[in-house]
């Protein structure tokens, strides 16, 4: 235990926090986003951690509503990169995002029409409320679909004054105000006066989460970076990680092991 990097978490769980991405971390990657579900025992493992640590949160690009349905209200849930959060079993929209609801609905409607006109089998538009994602994972020719759909996304971004953000096999359209997992991690770590913070991610959009941990480390906090490995995990995420886990099942086992080393909060 003396040289264990998780020692500060285990010895002082009342001031420690754990932040998790969802897709690729707590759930296997699937072709259709609506088909995703938490890995076996993931919900129970999250609840066990929440019973022991001061803060346990899932911070995802997904909508907070579906995450609430799958994971329950025993943890903090931050959806669409922090534009949504759950509170007492309800989903709340950020005050910074609310003014853009109507605009993003118009952009999404336009995107759905353009994608439908293309007739690319497997391409789909996922509505997240104040954001949406154009997916091409399930298309036959991903390279061609990527090129065409990125062009559409860029045209929409320029025409409506919104932001197009490349994702894993997808392009996300966001309102012109920044929302990021890194913001949530920094905000909640400081608000909760944490002394130790861990973040578990698997994608290029999780690199800013690692940046947030670097910022907190410079502020004197203990940090721990976990990367979940797959064929799509960026090498930089793996390089910067303190621990690499081989998929959501391994993440759940790690969570269970960590929970078993910490007594329930009195």
Catalytic (active-site) positions: 21
The 10 Å Cβ neighbour count of residue 69 is: 9
Of 91, 82, 262, nearest to 177 by C-alpha is: 82
Alpha-carbon dihedral angle through residues 196, 49, 208, 186, given to the nearest 10 degrees: -50
Structure tokens at 76: 């903090």
* Dihedral sign computed on CA atoms, order 93, 201, 236, 258: positive
Q: How would you classify the pairing of strands 55-59 and 16-20? A: parallel
> What is the gyration radius of the CA atoms in the chain, in angstroms?
19
Question: For residues 126 and 132, is the Cβ–Cβ distance under 8 A?
Answer: yes
Backbone angles phi and psi of 219, in degrees to 5: -90, 0
3-class secondary-structure state, position 142: helix
């Amino acid at each position: 235990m003396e040289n264990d990097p998780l020692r500060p978490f285990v010895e002082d769980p009342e001031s420690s926090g754990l932040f998790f991405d969802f897709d690729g971390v707590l759930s296997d990657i699937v072709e259709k986003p609506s088909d995703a579900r938490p890995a076996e025992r993931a919900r129970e493992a999250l609840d066990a951690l929440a019973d022991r640590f001061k803060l346990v949160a899932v911070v995802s690009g997904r909508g907070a509503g579906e995450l609430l349905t799958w994971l329950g209200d025993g943890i903090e849930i931050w959806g669409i990169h922090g534009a949504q959060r759950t509170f007492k079993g309800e989903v709340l929209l950020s005050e910074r995002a609310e003014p853009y609801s109507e605009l993003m609905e118009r952009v999404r409607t336009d995107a759905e029409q353009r994608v439908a006109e293309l007739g690319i089998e497997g391409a789909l538009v996922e509505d997240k409320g104040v954001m949406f994602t154009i997916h091409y994972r399930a298309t036959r020719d991903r390279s061609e679909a990527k090129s065409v759909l990125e062009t559409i996304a860029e045209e929409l971004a320029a025409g409506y004054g919104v932001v197009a953000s490349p994702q894993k096999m997808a392009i996300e359209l966001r309102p012109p105000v920044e929302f990021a997992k890194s913001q949530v991690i920094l905000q909640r770590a400081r608000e909760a006066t944490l002394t130790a913070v861990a973040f578990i991610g698997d994608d290029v959009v999780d690199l800013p989460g690692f940046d947030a941990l670097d910022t907190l480390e410079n502020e004197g906090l203990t940090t721990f970076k976990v990367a979940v490995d797959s064929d799509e995990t960026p090498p930089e995420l793996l390089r910067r990680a303190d621990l690499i886990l081989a998929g959501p099942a391994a993440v759940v086992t790690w969570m269970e092991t960590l929970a078993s080393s910490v007594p329930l909060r009195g």
